[in-house]
Amino acid sequence: MQYHVDGELVPASEATVNVRDRGFMYGDGAFETMRVYGGTIFEWSAHADRLQRSCEQLGFADALPPAADLHARIQETLAANDLTEAYTKLSITRGVQPGKLSPDPDVDPTIVVYISELPRGGTDGERVWSGPAALATVDSRQTPDSVLPADAKTHNYLDSILARLELRGSEADEAIVRSVDGALTEGASSNLFFVDDGTVHTPADSLPLLPGITRNVVLELADAAGIETVTGVYEPDRLVDADEVFVTNSTWEIRPVTSVDGRAYEVGPVTRTLQQRFDDRVEKLYD
């Protein structure tokens, strides 16, 4: 494999960052995880916009190269590895700086494109997950927005990692995380949806959560399918009477949930309709 590091394609074994890189030392960086279908980066503009917003929150957006340049780096990495179906991660950090914690205004960012093969999605594609998700509500809470901006996708993933650690030894493979006030927010690496009486609900982005690119696509697809969508502030017990539950992210796409804290759920018609619409949208990239 070859990865893209600071403008150069390098063999994976030589793809390294400086031990003084602030992304490594402090989590002082932002990233995007994306799917590539048929050589096209799915929802590139939305990912590029979110990366821009994340870098703005971290105060080094000026150092971010234009989106077309970043896009070209990913395309070069795909071509170098002869891949059209892939998972790719684009990271940008504040790089190496003189001094210690205080960020220097002069930023020479470290920019890395990591890539790996991932079979195509779409109508004839394979799911990346081997089965529906089992969720468990964890005790660790989402970092409040007043502490760290939840809508920035930064290298600081400790709250999600702590949430996943709580799943150890259980059957669950995704955590349900709550705000400090106890409202449902999201999964450790996914957005949470439930269906009640035919209406699709998901926690509102006024809560501390990462507004996923897939979440947005799902809300659009539901609108187009005439399925009512509501974003709100929900207590965990709203899930008890839900008819269907699913989680979304760029890698999983729409992943049905068949268990929440040991309660069983069916993979229902609304989830299936949205999966079909999502697959159709992916399929269009191959036309």
3-class secondary-structure state, position 264: strand
Phi/psi at 229 (5° precision): -125, 145
Q: Which of 97, 193 has the CB closer to ligand PLP?
A: 193
Site string for ligand PLP, 11-50 (x = CB under 6 A): ----------------------x-----------------
Structural tokens at position 256: 């049905």
Phi/psi at 222 (5° precision): -65, -45
Give the CA distances from residue 282 to residues 72, 91, 99, 118, 142, in Å, rounded to whole numbers and listed in that order: 21, 24, 46, 14, 31
For the chain, how far is it from start to end, CA to CA, in angstroms? 28
249 near ligand PLP (CB under 6 A)? yes
> Cβ 209 to ligand PLP, closest distance in Å?
6
> Cβ 189 to ligand PLP, closest distance in Å?
4
Report which of 121, 83, 99 is spatially closest to residue 255, judged by C-alpha positions.
121
Part in contact with ligand PLP (CB under 6 A); list of ranges 63-71, 80-88, 95-103, 248-256: 248-256
> Cβ 131 to ligand PLP, closest distance in Å?
19
Of 135, 213, 222, 254, which one interacts with ligand PLP (CB under 6 A)?
213
Contact positions with ligand PLP (CB under 6 A) in 104-123: none
Q: How many residues sit close enough to ligand PLP to count as binding (CB under 6 A)? A: 14
Write the DSSP assignment of 165-217 as a string of letters: HTTTTSS-SEEEEE-TTS-EEEESSSEEEEEETTEEEEE-TTSSS---HHHHH
Q: Please, which residues have CB within 8 angstroms of residue 155's CB and are 6 or more apart in sequence?
A: 23, 27, 28, 29, 30, 31, 91, 93
Q: Which of 109, 212 has the CB closer to ligand PLP?
A: 212
- Which strand (E) or helix (H) includes residue 278? helix 269-284
* Distance, CA of 264 to CA of 178 (rounded, Å): 21
Of 74, 86, 118, 210, which one interacts with ligand PLP (CB under 6 A)?
210
Contact positions with ligand PLP (CB under 6 A) in 139-198: 160, 186, 189-191
DSSP letter assigned to residue 158: H
Q: Which of 2, 54 has the CB closer to ligand PLP?
A: 54
Contact positions with ligand PLP (CB under 6 A) in 46-105: none
> Cβ 190 to ligand PLP, closest distance in Å?
5
Give the CA distances from residue 223 to residues 5, 133, 194, 274, in Å, rounded to whole numbers and listed in that order: 40, 25, 15, 10
3-class secondary-structure state, position 154: strand
> Cβ 81 to ligand PLP, closest distance in Å?
22
Q: Which of 136, 213 has the CB closer to ligand PLP?
A: 213
Q: Which of 10, 128 has the CB closer to ligand PLP?
A: 128
Part in contact with ligand PLP (CB under 6 A); list of ranges 92-100, 197-205, 212-220, 270-278: 212-220
Site residues for ligand PLP per CB under 6 A? 33, 160, 186, 189-191, 210, 212-215, 248-250
